[in-house]
Structure 1
Amino acid sequence: MLQPDSRRTLVDSLRPPPGTRLDWAVGTTYSLNLTTLLVVPAATAHSAGGGWGDDDDDEPDGFTPVGLLDALNRAADRITVFCDAGQIAPPLHRRRVLLGFVEQAVVPVTAPEGGVFHPKLWALRYVDAAGGPTYRVLVATRNLTFDRCWDTITVLESDPDGQPLPGIGNVVRALPDLSVSPLSSARRDRIGGFGDELDTVPFASPAGFGDLRLHAFGLGGGSWPFPKTCHRLLVLSPFLTAHTLKRLPQASIRRSVVSRPDALAAVGQAGESYDRFTLNPAVLDDVGDLSGASRDDPRRVDNGLHAKLYVTDDETGTSWWTGSANATSAAFERNVEVLLQLRTTNERHSASALLRERKEGDPEARTLRDLLVPWEDDGTEPEEPVDDNQDELDRLRRLVAAVAFSATVVESEPGRYGVTYRSDEALPVPEDVGLRCWPATVGQPDRPAALDSDGRLGYETSATLTTLSAFLVIELTLAKLSTAFVVRCAMHGEPDNRRQLLVAELLGDEHRLVRYLVALLSDDDAPLDGDGTNGAGVDIWSGGDLERLPLTELMIRALARDSGRLRQIADLLSTVRHGGGRLPEGLDDLWDAVWQIAREDVRG
């Protein structure tokens, strides 16, 4: 545990076990980048060990356009991500036209006790071909962003010989009540039922650990989880407050804290009872700075230490607490947070071992201590805020994001729509603060936004099928500073078959259409690779004779195993035809023959 050479990405941790597919997932994150969100359905659409190819550097994680479209259509409806309402970053990637597939997956929330919504928790249910379920819980410190931080993630797999995870069901069931806008009754019921289900699932502990327990804070309850005293205490936290450092367990032998230099300097004398460390600057990535943005603007890319871990040694063993909670007053008094508690008697997981320096020539793998350098207070005063307007913009962003918004759609002509975005109540935006907004699927606003006499936002625009969006970017400016973020609007009047129309529009030509049909008909764990093949190695059609493709074989296999896929294709081809699109020569006759058999099978 915590060995620098042992790394696992969040995307890897979401991939289904071999021979399974994602059935349902609930995730939480403080900050959310919508482009990063597109990777989640892609990761969960195929089993571990599958590949997406890497020949297209412009795609998230190397996913091809058709492969990503296939993944989104397969998995997006099975995922719900709860995120802090004020921390959704506008998309910058050219694939923002795909955001229509994940609109319902995003649920902006607020913390009921006045802080922020800060957990990084995932609960996932996978099923095999026979419908048998397996479960996974991730307790992480990683947000769903492009940050380049040092984080931790704990993966718990279901196991009949394991133990239940107390607290997991309560957290999942509480999430819908935090939403800025009401969830549909169907989604709310499914999330509640999933929470009930998780209460009964036994999970295997990480190797060498046991006695699992999930602590939640800010959801009505959540007591201080730490003992009063211990032999040794180790704290990893990028942010600190003096009050919490003093409140943490008193140690009879040693107290140590690993944090960021500015955080250590800011707590002053409260840190003097600790041995203080920071990450060695040599292991940090340079991410640059977003000039002109507010301090907590969601567009910022973070780096440095982001892991949160508390370790105590006592006479009977070692306890770990890991998750989202920083060593701050806000974390334990106002925010929504989670911490996973684990217990071990293995000395190599103790606070003492984690900070033990290796001797020269020691063959053991690198340890946490190898990444650290001691920090000494040089007497330099902590930097004062450069501009108080930064904090004011962050405050206003949080207030605006907590308001519910709607988007009303009216088709003005075939394929074109008028859209009116409105806030449900007055926005708390002072006169000296500038306001602009635009759909997240376009780059910049085409006309100004305005507040009516009641202070409510009103913004009208026109859209095509690919730019129609429930995601609205809002930009606030004060003096020379700005903050930009996304709100999700309740959409009214959208086309009933919008998803199918969008798929047909994005496929664009015969080549992509045929590739997509092969993807739909292939096994769930064999998506399209970047080299133009599916996971089974079938050459993908590039024009000409359809007989070179195994479409007939794939359709017959789907007819025998999963006729629901043929219904998807029937709807798609109908949409393409009615939309004026062209089908490859010969596909009509092939499809009509298979579809006739499928309908007779249903009637029989």
Structure 2
Amino acid sequence: MLNPGKDRIDYGEKLRPPAGYTLSYALATSYSLELDTLLAVPLALSFNSTLDDAEKIIGEKLVLLEGIHQLKGRIKVFFQQGNIKLPDTSNKLYSLLEHCLVPMVPEGPFSSFHPKIWLLRFVNDAKDVQYRLIVLSRNLTFDRSWDLACTLEGRDSGKITQENDGLIALLGDLAPCAKDFSTAFRLFKKELPNVMWDKPTGFQSLKTLYGRKGQVPLEYGLGTDTVLVISPFIHREALAMLKERGTRHWLFSRGDELERIGEEDLQGWECFALNDRLINGEDELEKAKQQNLHAKLVLLQNGRTCHWHIGSANATKAALGDRKQASPRNTEFMLRMSGSAQNGSAEKLREELVGTEKKPAGIFIPYVFGSYLPDEQSESEEVSRKLLHALISVDWNVVATHDGDELYTVTVSYPDSLPLYSATIDVRPLIIGHSQPLQNVMVWERLHLTQISAFLILTVSTPEGNVEQRVIKASLDIDGGDDREQKIFSSMIDKPGKLLWYIQMILQPNAEKMEWLAAEKNMQLSGEEETALSTVFDGPIYESLLRCASRQPEKLARIESVLTHSSALNAQMPKTFNMLWAHYRAFLGNI
């Protein structure tokens, strides 16, 4: 069920490849994201690590640089344009994430690109394929809110199944937006119709449901006697539509949302709010964050059968439409799991979340209404949403022109015209300190290659004093080619000793996160090539090279790439290493 004490999911653990498998391709969707969270993903996918302490190690770390490189061309993340959180600090590695991010622009200012999934394809040495589907209510952030997730493992069943119809439809709409990921999409299209998922305990069947304009991401079935809804954001119209089904209606939401809708419009719903003690549980910590409700679930029960809908959709008009046949506006994704009410009934879930009169669970508590606020959206909020949608809809372009002496002139432009608004809008690239007023063409001069970014910060200031900042991703063209990875690598590996440590780590058969962090510490303590060479060759370096040549030749290709990126250091490398590597460089032609 959903017992927070024992049914917790470690996000990073669910991204780790199964034993004996490696990642082939990964696809994710998210409404919003944090660049630091995306930087941490390689810790799980490339280094078989959890993300339990990822926030503590984010920065310009070599383990992150290597992880990003290993995933290049194998991961795509689709997100709503403009919904990248502005980072607290700058990081040169952010620019290396640009290749995996695909911005999606919703159809209108009051619709959203909102699905939250991971689709992972793994392979082993025998070329066996295993899939994993993670359906979440959480965005790709370090947020600590209460969320729901379901992880499914799948393999080729040898027959056509309808389980993935909704997933395949979503992927079909995403594919034209990432043509450089076409090989992965072709494999998904070929293999997913035959993939059958292992069912969670208590469930006998499942479906994937794709929500889009005119298509509700729920399947109601033949009848309903009980409706249980968990949703952080709610609209009275969507709730009225759900209330038409069944005779018992239980609603779990945020207290401020329940108050906003009001007791009168929630007649017929038994309402519960997340306990304030859980929301503010970190108040005494130095970097406290609220832990509010963000989970989404619609449970429809009919006698002895229950249908759980888990995923991205809130109980709102934009996600579900309403009883007046208004069409949903959002792009959503839900997983529908059906089973016996004996194991997954609404009654059991309610008791788990609320408890009994004698033994309350302390997670959700019955909500007591006070005076409620009107539900009308303010005119200024509507104007703000229209302006932001106009800003993310234009075709933003960044062009970097080489000026000589390793300096560039960066021109940011957009060919479209924007509607007239009373707000003031300033623009600046993510890694550059000064902003400029919005114009069709804006220029920044004398920038170094590592300061160039496809990420732009838009600052919108209204006459009422409201300030909102959005990070968008623009198209980027760099005169002479994009050598930022090589430049960043050279700035982080600036001594021969550090380079030798780095090569040593690449040669490790299954180096994990903590080994990389320890090696980086050694690099800082020992920058002399003699010391590093002695340490490297005290270990089984010859055996490691021989093993890689026979079992992991791609690692030899990676070492050659590293040496190419650090060409400025090659003349300073010890002759012993250069002589040894010359033999293995000849082997690369056979890979």
Please give the range of the TM-score, normalised by the shorter of the 2 chains: 0.7 to 0.9
Contact persistence 1:126–1:135 (CA under 8 A):
yes
Shift of 1:489: 1.8
CA displacement at 1:92 relative to structure 2:
2.2
Asked whether 1:374 is paired with 2:370, we answer: no
**Residues 449/413 of structure 1: CA separation in 2 closer, same or farther (3 Å cut):** farther
> Contact 1:52/1:527 (CA < 8 Å) preserved in 2?
no
Identify the range of structure 1 (240-249 vs 496-505) with the bigger mean alpha-carbon deviation.
Answer: 496-505
Deviation per residue, 1:186-229 (Å, 9 max, x gap): 32453254244222211111111122111111166447522585
Is the 8 Å Cα contact of residues 25 and 124 (structure 1) preserved in structure 2? yes
* Structure 1 residue 378 displacement after superposition: 1.9
Q: Displacement, 1:449?
A: 4.1
- State the secondary structure of the residue aligned to 1:116: coil
Map of 1:30 onto structure 2? 31
Q: Helix, strand or coil for the counterpart of 1:148?
A: coil
Q: Which residue of 2 aligns with 1:576?
A: 566
Contact 1:45 1:525 in 2 (8 A): no
Q: Distance in 2 between matches of 1:16 and 1:8?
A: 16
Check if 1:239 corresponds to 2:230: no
Alpha-carbon distance between aligned partners in 2 of 1:226 and 1:275, rounded to the nearest angstrom: 21
Contact 1:393 1:476 in 2 (8 A): no
Matches of 1:89 and 1:406, distance apart in 2: 20
More helix by share: 2
Structure 1 counterpart SS, 2:145: strand
Output the CA distance in 1 between the equivalents of 2:415 and 2:175: 19
1:410 corresponds in structure 2 to: 401
Measured in 2, the distance between the counterparts of 1:401 and 1:287 equals 35
Looking at structure 2, the residues matched to 519 and 219 of structure 1 have their Cα atoms a distance apart, in angstroms, of: 49
Does 1:347 find its partner at 2:342? Answer: yes
In 2, the alpha carbon distance for the partners of 1:391 and 1:461 equals 37
| Alpha-carbon contact 1:504-1:576 (below 8 Å) kept | yes
Shift in CA distance, 53/577, structure 1 to aligned 2, threshold 3 Å: farther
The answer to which structure, 1 or 2, has the higher relative contact order (CA under 8 A, 6+ apart) is 1
Structure 1 counterpart of 2:410, from 394, 416, 419: 419
SS of corresponding position for 1:8: coil
Amino acid at match of 2:252: V
Residue 258 of structure 2, aligned match among 242, 261, 264 = 264
**Deviation of residue 530 (structure 1)?**
5.5
TM-score normalised by length of structure 2: 0.86
Number of positions where the alignment pairs a residue of Structure 1 with one of Structure 2: 562
Distance 1:359 1:190 in 2: 49
1:503 to 476, 486, 489: 489
Determine helix, strand or coil for the equivalent of 1:248. Answer: helix
Please say if residues 83 and 472 of structure 2, whose CA atoms lie closer than 8 Å, have aligned partners that are also in contact.
Answer: no
Residues 472 and 584 of structure 1, relative CA distance in 2, 3 Å threshold:
farther
State the match for 2:423 in structure 1: 433
Partner of 1:254: 248
- The equivalences for 1:357-368 within 5 A come to 358=355
Structure-to-structure mapping, 1:131-280, within 5 angstroms? 131-159=127-155, 164-177=163-176, 179=177, 183=178, 185-188=179-182, 190-218=184-212, 221-222=215-216, 225-227=219-221, 229-250=223-244, 253-268=247-262, 269-280=264-275
The question of 1:547 aligning with 2:537 is answered: yes
User: AA paired with 2:135?
Assistant: V
Q: Which segment is superposed worse, 371-380 or 494-503?
A: 494-503
Deviations 1:90-148 (A, max 9, x none): 22244x21112210111110234661101101111011233321100011000011222
SS in structure 2 of the partner of residue 240 of structure 1? coil
Runs of at least 5 residues in structure 2 that lack an aligned partner in the other structure: 284-288, 321-327
Matched, 1:472 2:470: no
Residue 4 (str. 1) matches residue 4 (str. 2)? yes
CA positional deviation for 1:394: 3.9
CA 474–585 in structure 1, closer or farther in 2 if over 3 Å, else same: farther
CA distance in 1, matches of 2:240, 2:438: 49
Alignment of 1:318 onto 2:317: no
The alpha-carbon distance between structure 1 residues 133 and 66, as it changes in their structure 2 partners (threshold 3 A), is same
Match of 1:491 among 471, 476, 479: 476
Change (3 A) 1:243 1:18: same
Measured in 1, the distance between the counterparts of 2:355 and 2:367 equals 19
Shift of residue 310, structure 1, vs aligned partner: 0.9
- Contact 1:310–1:322 (CA<8 Å) still a contact in 2? yes
Percent of counterpart pairs with the same letter? 25
Residues 379-398 of structure 1: pairs in structure 2 closer than 5 A:
379-381=371-373, 389=380, 391-398=382-389
Which position in structure 2 is the counterpart of 1:107? 102
Which residue of structure 2 lines up, in the alignment, with residue 291 of structure 1? none
Name the counterpart of 1:292.
none
* 1:124 maps to 2:120: yes
Mapped partners of 1:199, 1:212: distance in 2: 14
CA distance in 1, matches of 2:55, 2:574: 29
Q: Which of 530, 553, 558 in structure 1 is aligned with 2:548?
A: 558
Shift of 1:151: 0.3
Contact residue 116 and residue 138 of structure 2 kept, 8 A: yes
Q: Quick one: which amino acid aligns to residue 65 of structure 1?
A: K
Q: Which residue of 2 aligns with 1:42?
A: 43
1:467-500 per-position Cα deviation (integer Å, ceiling 9, x unaligned): 2211122211123221111221212235354433
What are the superposed Cα offsets for residues 436-470 of structure 1, whole Å, 9 maximum, x if unpaired?
Answer: 2222234x32x52441xxxx242334432322211
Distance 1:115 1:564 in 2: 44
Q: By how many angstroms is 1:77 displaced?
A: 2.5
Between 1:134-143 and 1:584-593, the stretch displaced more is 584-593
Q: 1:427 to 1:550 in 2, by over 3 A?
A: farther
Kept in 1, the 8 Å contact 2:501–2:532? The answer is no
Equivalent residues of 2:311, 2:335 under 8 A apart: yes
Cα 1:252–1:406 change in 2 (3 A) is closer
For normalisation by structure 1, the TM-score amounts to 0.84
CA contact (8 A) 1:407 1:491 kept: yes
**Structure 2 vs 1, CA of residues 493 and 379 (structure 1 numbering), >3 Å: closer, same or farther?**
closer
Distance across 2 between alignment mates of 1:10 and 1:429: 43
C-alpha RMSD over aligned residues: 3.2
The 3 A distance-change label for structure 1 pair 441 and 314 is same
8 Å contact kept, 1:119–1:323: yes
Native 8 Å contact 2:157 2:194 kept in 1: no
What's the secondary structure of 1:226's corresponding residue? coil
The answer for the alignment partner of 1:400 in structure 2 is 391
Aligned residue type for 2:485 = R
Specify the alignment match of 1:481 in structure 2.
Answer: 466
The CA distance in 2 between the partners of 1:271 and 1:51, in whole Å, is: 42
